[in-house]
Copies of this chain bind each other. A is one copy, B any other.
Amino acid sequence: MKINSCLKSAILFCGLLINNNLQSQSENYLNEDVKKIIKEGLINQDAYKFLYELTSKVGARVSGSPQAEKAVAWGKAKMEEINSDSVWLENMMVPRWVRGKNEIAEVTYPKKIKLNSCALGGSGGTNDKWVSGEVIKVNSVDEAKLLGDKAKGKIIYFSRPFDQSLFEPGRAYGGAVDQRGRGPNEASKLGAVAAIVRSMTHALDDKPHTGATNFEKDVKKIPALAISTIDANNLNLLLEKGKVEIRVKLSAETLPDVESSNVIGQITGSEFPNEIILVGGHLDSWDKGTGTHDDGTGCVQSIEVLNLIKRLGIKPKRTIRAVLFMNEENGLRGGLDYARRRKTLNEKHIAAIESDGGGFTPTGFGVTTDSLKFEKIKSFATLLEQINSSRITKGGGGADIGPLGEFGTALIGLDHDSQRYFDYHHSDNDTIDKVNSRELELGAIAMTILAYAISENGL
């Protein structure tokens, strides 16, 4: 029995040794591959080349527009060009809002001042006639609701600025954007003839920032505009002195839905092809600027994840799939359709990583999942530490991947140095000259490292 026990111990010991060896071999190849990924990415910086193509050859691409379809064709061709194992489109109907030729807002009393303005996505038009009204300034949607009958025939101006004191730009945006999203709807319900919103940005400049506004089904789509922050400050001064009247002329209108597509490419897993790790961004953009940081960068980073893996000849154990979602900005139809189809196909997505915060230097990932999976993802931080992107925090994800949450998919958002993001967001400032190629590539590298680590270890 003593000998037996010794033998057992010896076998156990050898087993542990083999196990440890295997584990250490696994860690070694992963570590080695991560070094290769970083090097290959930073030397070639293909993400920037892709982004230059998308923003110069296609440009802005609002859902349902001919440019959006051009972007779909570009995305599909690019996924094929980088030798994805398979590439396909998945179609769905998307909203079709158009800005039209006229987009004018000007103060008419006490003196004429042209405003730097643009229609919000979803705004109604004015049939190319002028719509005029006295301006009532409010600080919040709740304050607008309290106006009651006083709002009738007026133009409601939502004036609350970003809270500059908040460290996280996203929190400042989140604390102000209800004015854009819900303000015009509430103003319309009160009988206002138009709504104006201070642009959603930290920057003090002369660029208006567009974005979605939502009207309830039976509420009249009144003209809804953003004005630049400089013009908003000037308007505030005018209103302190007395009565102000504004007139607006917008050609904006909502046309019937049209068909569009998500663009999908993947590298099929060598051992567990049915376990999918998604990387994605959204292909649609607003029509100001060229949809560069929002979200051309997320799209090209997702393509670059596949490109890096292919270029290096890495064979991931699980399937890594890149998805360029359509219609994040004003409907989320792409994200919803994608999740609906997964249910029908009974596909298993173990994790989904979205980049939709711009192409800035990555800092880590925000993760929404259970504690056990969170700790496992956190254990990959040592790999990400090599590019200072090891900050793994609870909470996070992305609008497009959100609907996958119901399947238990770990939802992961790439986190960035995002202080400059809202300077560009939804405005003519969102162009390629605001992107640094190395910063953009590092985001793609961080996504590749995390997707690959999950692929090799499972979740």
Question: Which candidate, A9-17, A259-267, A435-443, is the interface stretch facing chain B?
Answer: A435-443
Shortest Cβ distance from A420 into B: residue: B436
**Contact between B439 and A420, CB atoms less than 8 A apart:** yes
Interface residues of A in 406-421 (CB under 8 A from B): 417, 419-420
Q: At the interface with chain B, which of A37-45, A84-92, A350-358? A: A37-45
A360–B418 CA distance with the chains assembled, in angstroms: 11
Question: Taking the complex as formed, is A167 at the interface, i.e. its CB lies under 8 A from any CB of chain B?
Answer: yes
A438 & B388 in contact (Cβ 8 Å cutoff): no
Chain B residue with minimal CB distance to A390? B391
Residues from 163 to 189 in A contacting B, C-beta threshold 8 Å: 164-167, 169
A360-B438 Cα distance, complex, nearest whole Å: 15
A366 CB to closest chain B CB (Å) equals 12
Q: Which residue among A388, A436, A442 has the maximum number of chain B CB atoms within 10 Å of its CB? A: A388
Within 8 Å of chain B (Cβ to Cβ): is A387?
A: yes
CA of A387 to CA of B438, assembled, Å:
23
Are B165 and A39 touching (Cβ within 8 A)? yes
Q: Which residue of chain B is the closest to A362 with respect to CB atoms?
A: B417
B391 and A419 within 8 A (CB): no
Rounded to whole angstroms, the CA-CA distance of A363 and B360 in the bound complex is 14
A275 contacts chain B at the CB level, 8 A cutoff: no
CB contacts (< 8 Å) of A167 on chain B: these are 38, 42, 386-388, 442
A363 to B361, CA, bound (A): 11
Residue of B with least CB distance to A364: B388
- Complex CA distance for A167 and B439, rounded to whole angstroms: 10
What's the number of copies of this chain in the assembled complex? 2
Q: Decide yes or no whether A202 CB sits under 8 A from chain B.
A: yes
Nearest chain B CB to A173's CB is how many angstroms away? 13
- Decide if A46 is an interface residue (CB 8 Å cutoff): no
Q: How far is the CA of A387 from the CA of B391 in the complex (A)?
A: 13
Bound CA span A169–B439, Å: 11
- Which of chain B's residues has its CB closest to A40's CB? B165
Q: Which residues of B contact A438 (CB under 8 A)?
A: 164, 169, 202, 419-420
Is residue A295 contacting chain B, with contact meaning CB distance below 8 A? no
Q: Are B419 and A43 in contact (CB under 8 A)?
A: no
Which residue of chain B lies nearest to A204 when distances are taken between CB atoms in the complex? B437
Contact, CB under 8 Å: B420 / A43: no
Q: How far is the CB of A249 from chain B (nearest CB, A)?
A: 34
Chain B residues with Cβ below 8 Å from A417 are 360-361, 417, 439
CB distance from A52 to the nearest CB of B (A): 13
A386 CA / B439 CA spacing, docked (Å) = 23
Q: In the complex, what residues of B have CB within 8 A of residue A419's CB?
A: 361, 436, 438-439, 442
Tell me if A165 and B391 are in contact (CB < 8 A).
Answer: no
How far is it, in angstroms, between the C-alpha of A304 and the C-alpha of B453 when the chains are bound? 43
The answer to whether A69 has its CB under 8 Å from any CB of chain B is no
Kindly state the separation between the CA atoms of A388 and B363 in the bound complex, as whole angstroms.
Answer: 9
A423: chain B residues at CB < 8 Å are 436
A 329-350 to B, binary, CB cutoff 8 A, 1 in contact else 0: 0000000000000000000000
Q: Which residue of B lies closest to A169 (CB)?
A: B438
Give the shortest distance, in Å, between A393 (CB) and chain B (any CB): 10
Distance in angstroms between the alpha carbons of A442 and B165 in the assembled complex: 11
Question: Is there an interface contact between B361 and A43, defined as CB atoms closer than 8 Å?
Answer: no
Q: List 25 A-B contacts (CB under 8 A).
A: A38-B165, A38-B167, A39-B165, A42-B165, A42-B166, A43-B164, A43-B165, A45-B164, A164-B438, A167-B386, A167-B388, A167-B442, A169-B438, A360-B417, A361-B361, A361-B417, A363-B388, A388-B391, A417-B417, A419-B438, A419-B439, A419-B442, A420-B436, A420-B438, A420-B439
Q: A39-B165, A388-B391 are in contact. List 19 more A-B contacts (CB 8 A).
A: A38-B165, A38-B167, A42-B165, A43-B164, A43-B165, A45-B164, A164-B438, A167-B386, A167-B387, A167-B442, A202-B438, A361-B417, A363-B363, A417-B417, A419-B436, A419-B438, A420-B436, A420-B438, A420-B439
